[in-house]
Amino acid sequence: MLSTPTQLLRLSQGQLNLLEVCPRKFQHTYLEQLNSPSNPEQEERLTLGSRFHLLMQQREMGLPIDSFLQADAKLQSWMHDFADAAPEILTAASDNQTFRESEHYRTLQVQDYLLTVVYDLLIADNQQAQILDWKTYPKPPHKGKLEANWQTRLYLYVLAETSDYLPENISMTYWFVQSEGKPQNIKFNYNTVQHTQIAKKLNQLLSQLTIWLENYQNNQQFPQVAEGSKTCDYCQFAKRCDRTQVTEEAVKDSLPNFDSIQEVSV
């Protein structure tokens, strides 16, 4: 009998966040595809965020964006404020030594998993590489929380693993274009120590996932968070997990949740 190659399971930063926060929720959301409908307010935020990402992508590709701006006053305001706050990002280098690409897609195999990332904008030259990410919700999270998020860790890690850049020559900057007053940014400079730590944590998490998946094939569910965890207070699966029944108001108050925001691929 011919052996068949192992099929790689694709994982994004959002799924790693979910797996780390609550393995059982990862099971329900990713493996069983059990998702509750988004409320209209959340849908509006997601749609507006997608439109801004598309706007930035079209601009980077040299395509016309006037129709976008004329049709949406909020997008026009965000774009105007961002251009004032970071004109250097919107201005392409005059030399031919700088690489720029919007919605830059990369993958990296670790164990039996294919890790995927989508950089909103990647700018790289002979010396350094910059990852830029657009966020369209109004209040930036605490920098420590953002640093611990798998989007930050995975994006930096994958670029270091799939390029010739040293970790010390890689950075990632989040731009919060809807921040009160004017757009704000949070920047992370990478280094070799962080790279080693992330590699260890990532391999531990994926090894644990492999065990949970094997158990799941034998009808054993993924672990739950501890009883009384606040995570359950805002989870749509609270009733399914025999935890406190979540209320519609609690779900609404919990949005937007940075850990659940996926890459926008357009």
To the nearest 10°, report the CA torsion of 53, 75, 59, 138: -50
Domains and CATH numbers, the chain: 9-260 (3.90.320.10)
CA distance 210 to 113: 10
Radius of gyration of the chain measured on its C-alpha atoms: 20
- DSSP of 79-143: HHHHHHH-HHHHS--SSSS-EEEEEEEEEEEETTEEEEEEEEEEEE-SS-EEEEEEE-SSSPPPH
Contacts of 123 (CB under 8 A, 6+ apart): 89, 98, 99, 100, 129, 130, 132
Q: Please, are residues 234 and 254 in contact by the beta-carbon 8 Å criterion? A: yes
| Mean pLDDT to the nearest integer, 78-96 | 86
Reply yes or no on whether the pLDDT at 187 is more than 50.
yes
**Predicted TM-score of the model (pTM):** 0.87
CA distance 192 to 127: 16
Q: Per-residue pLDDT tens for 215-243?
A: 999 999 999 998 888 888 888 888 888 88
Which range among 187-201, 207-221, 224-238, 245-259 shows the weakest confidence by mean pLDDT?
A: 245-259
Q: What is the pLDDT of residue 244?
A: 67
pLDDT in tens, 19-69: 999 999 999 999 999 987 667 877 888 888 899 999 999 999 989 888 888
Is the pLDDT reported for residue 124 higher than 60?
Answer: yes
Q: Where is average pLDDT lowest: 98-102, 134-138, 184-188?
A: 134-138
